Amino acid sequence: MVGFIDALRDAHGVEPICSVLPIAPSTYYKHLAKRADPARLSDRVRRDEALRPEILRVFEENWRVYGVRKIWRQLGREGFDVARCTVARLMNDLGIQGIIRGKPHRTTVPDKKAPCPLDKVNRQFRVPAPNMLWVSDFTYGATWRGFVYVAFVIDAYPGDP
Protein backbone atom coordinates (compact mmCIF):
# COMPACT_ATOMS: atom_id res chain seq x y z
CA MET A 1 0.00 0.00 0.00
CA VAL A 2 2.89 2.33 0.77
CA GLY A 3 4.34 1.68 -2.70
CA PHE A 4 0.98 2.57 -4.23
CA ILE A 5 0.91 5.87 -2.34
CA ASP A 6 4.52 6.55 -3.34
CA ALA A 7 3.63 6.09 -6.99
CA LEU A 8 0.62 8.42 -6.92
CA ARG A 9 1.50 11.02 -4.28
CA ASP A 10 2.88 13.55 -6.78
CA ALA A 11 -0.29 13.47 -8.87
CA HIS A 12 -2.91 13.38 -6.09
CA GLY A 13 -1.27 14.07 -2.73
CA VAL A 14 -0.96 11.80 0.26
CA GLU A 15 -4.04 12.86 2.24
CA PRO A 16 -6.58 12.42 -0.62
CA ILE A 17 -5.19 8.96 -1.40
CA CYS A 18 -5.27 7.96 2.27
CA SER A 19 -8.87 9.16 2.60
CA VAL A 20 -9.85 6.53 0.01
CA LEU A 21 -7.57 3.76 1.28
CA PRO A 22 -7.78 2.17 4.75
CA ILE A 23 -4.56 3.84 5.93
CA ALA A 24 -4.01 7.01 7.93
CA PRO A 25 -1.59 9.63 6.57
CA SER A 26 0.33 9.45 9.85
CA THR A 27 0.90 5.73 9.29
CA TYR A 28 2.28 6.44 5.83
CA TYR A 29 4.62 9.18 7.12
CA LYS A 30 5.74 6.96 10.01
CA HIS A 31 6.64 4.26 7.49
CA LEU A 32 8.66 6.80 5.47
CA ALA A 33 10.50 7.89 8.61
CA LYS A 34 11.38 4.26 9.42
CA ARG A 35 12.58 3.72 5.86
CA ALA A 36 14.82 6.81 6.09
CA ASP A 37 16.15 6.06 9.59
CA PRO A 38 16.49 2.33 10.43
CA ALA A 39 17.08 3.25 14.09
CA ARG A 40 13.33 3.96 14.33
CA LEU A 41 12.47 0.35 13.49
CA SER A 42 11.22 -1.88 16.30
CA ASP A 43 13.65 -4.12 18.15
CA ARG A 44 12.06 -7.20 16.60
CA VAL A 45 12.44 -5.91 13.03
CA ARG A 46 16.07 -4.96 13.64
CA ARG A 47 16.79 -8.33 15.24
CA ASP A 48 15.09 -10.13 12.33
CA GLU A 49 17.19 -8.20 9.83
CA ALA A 50 20.35 -9.24 11.69
CA LEU A 51 19.28 -12.90 11.92
CA ARG A 52 18.15 -13.42 8.32
CA PRO A 53 21.68 -13.45 6.82
CA GLU A 54 22.90 -15.73 9.62
CA ILE A 55 20.10 -18.21 8.99
CA LEU A 56 20.82 -18.15 5.25
CA ARG A 57 24.55 -18.60 5.92
CA VAL A 58 24.00 -21.68 8.12
CA PHE A 59 21.50 -23.06 5.60
CA GLU A 60 23.95 -22.61 2.68
CA GLU A 61 26.99 -23.88 4.60
CA ASN A 62 25.14 -27.12 5.28
CA TRP A 63 24.21 -27.93 1.69
CA ARG A 64 20.67 -26.50 2.02
CA VAL A 65 19.48 -29.53 4.01
CA TYR A 66 19.26 -28.20 7.59
CA GLY A 67 15.78 -27.63 8.94
CA VAL A 68 14.59 -25.37 11.74
CA ARG A 69 15.89 -27.48 14.60
CA LYS A 70 19.40 -27.90 13.24
CA ILE A 71 19.74 -24.25 12.20
CA TRP A 72 18.48 -23.18 15.63
CA ARG A 73 21.01 -25.43 17.37
CA GLN A 74 23.86 -24.26 15.14
CA LEU A 75 23.03 -20.62 15.84
CA GLY A 76 23.00 -21.43 19.54
CA ARG A 77 26.45 -23.01 19.28
CA GLU A 78 27.66 -19.84 17.56
CA GLY A 79 26.40 -17.68 20.42
CA PHE A 80 23.11 -16.38 19.02
CA ASP A 81 20.37 -16.28 21.65
CA VAL A 82 17.34 -16.90 19.46
CA ALA A 83 14.10 -18.80 19.95
CA ARG A 84 13.33 -21.84 17.82
CA CYS A 85 9.99 -20.33 16.75
CA THR A 86 11.83 -17.21 15.56
CA VAL A 87 14.09 -19.34 13.36
CA ALA A 88 11.00 -21.12 12.00
CA ARG A 89 9.23 -17.83 11.26
CA LEU A 90 12.25 -16.31 9.52
CA MET A 91 12.90 -19.47 7.49
CA ASN A 92 9.28 -19.36 6.37
CA ASP A 93 9.67 -15.67 5.44
CA LEU A 94 12.83 -16.51 3.48
CA GLY A 95 11.09 -19.39 1.73
CA ILE A 96 13.59 -22.03 2.82
CA GLN A 97 13.07 -25.39 4.50
CA GLY A 98 15.16 -28.41 5.30
CA ILE A 99 15.11 -31.71 3.49
CA ILE A 100 12.45 -34.16 4.65
CA ARG A 101 13.65 -37.74 4.93
CA GLY A 102 11.77 -40.55 3.30
CA LYS A 103 9.30 -40.44 0.50
CA PRO A 104 5.87 -38.95 0.99
CA HIS A 105 3.08 -41.49 1.34
CA ARG A 106 0.10 -41.00 -0.89
CA THR A 107 -2.89 -42.29 0.99
CA THR A 108 -5.68 -41.17 -1.33
CA VAL A 109 -5.79 -41.17 -5.11
CA PRO A 110 -9.00 -39.36 -6.05
CA ASP A 111 -10.87 -40.28 -9.20
CA LYS A 112 -11.93 -36.96 -10.71
CA LYS A 113 -14.40 -38.66 -13.05
CA ALA A 114 -16.29 -40.52 -10.33
CA PRO A 115 -19.37 -38.75 -8.97
CA CYS A 116 -19.24 -37.46 -5.41
CA PRO A 117 -21.33 -39.46 -2.95
CA LEU A 118 -24.60 -37.86 -1.94
CA ASP A 119 -25.15 -36.32 1.47
CA LYS A 120 -27.95 -38.58 2.67
CA VAL A 121 -28.77 -36.52 5.77
CA ASN A 122 -28.36 -33.03 4.26
CA ARG A 123 -25.99 -32.02 7.09
CA GLN A 124 -28.80 -32.47 9.65
CA PHE A 125 -27.08 -34.28 12.50
CA ARG A 126 -29.66 -33.61 15.22
CA VAL A 127 -31.91 -36.57 15.87
CA PRO A 128 -34.71 -36.95 18.46
CA ALA A 129 -33.89 -40.50 19.59
CA PRO A 130 -31.03 -43.00 19.66
CA ASN A 131 -30.33 -45.41 16.78
CA MET A 132 -31.86 -43.11 14.16
CA LEU A 133 -28.60 -41.87 12.63
CA TRP A 134 -25.13 -43.30 12.82
CA VAL A 135 -22.13 -41.44 11.39
CA SER A 136 -18.68 -42.71 10.60
CA ASP A 137 -15.25 -41.54 9.65
CA PHE A 138 -11.80 -42.99 9.35
CA THR A 139 -8.32 -41.63 9.64
CA TYR A 140 -4.76 -42.84 9.78
CA GLY A 141 -1.62 -42.19 11.74
CA ALA A 142 2.00 -42.86 10.89
CA THR A 143 4.02 -45.17 13.15
CA TRP A 144 7.57 -46.49 12.96
CA ARG A 145 6.27 -49.64 11.29
CA GLY A 146 3.84 -48.06 8.84
CA PHE A 147 0.37 -46.59 8.96
CA VAL A 148 -2.37 -47.40 11.44
CA TYR A 149 -5.91 -46.93 10.18
CA VAL A 150 -8.73 -46.17 12.60
CA ALA A 151 -12.48 -46.17 11.88
CA PHE A 152 -15.04 -44.40 14.07
CA VAL A 153 -18.75 -45.21 14.08
CA ILE A 154 -20.94 -43.25 16.50
CA ASP A 155 -24.58 -42.58 17.14
CA ALA A 156 -25.53 -38.97 16.28
CA TYR A 157 -27.96 -38.82 19.21
CA PRO A 158 -26.31 -36.60 21.87
CA GLY A 159 -27.79 -38.43 24.85
CA ASP A 160 -28.88 -36.78 28.09
CA PRO A 161 -27.98 -33.09 28.38
With 80 as the cut, is the pLDDT of residue 161 above it? no
With 80 as the cut, is the pLDDT of residue 56 above it? yes
Instruction: For residues 123 and 56, give the distance between their C-alpha atoms in angstroms, rounded to a whole number.
Output: 49
With 90 as the cut, is the pLDDT of residue 108 above it? no
pLDDT digits (tens, 9 = 90+) for 87-104: 999 999 999 999 988 877
- Most confidently modeled range among 55-59, 143-147, 152-156: 55-59
Q: Is the overall model pTM greater than 0.85, yes or no?
A: no
Cβ-count burial 75-93 (b if 16+ within 10 Å, e if not): beeeebebeeebbbebbee
User: CB of 156 within 8 A of CB of 133?
Assistant: yes
With 90 as the cut, is the pLDDT of residue 38 above it? no
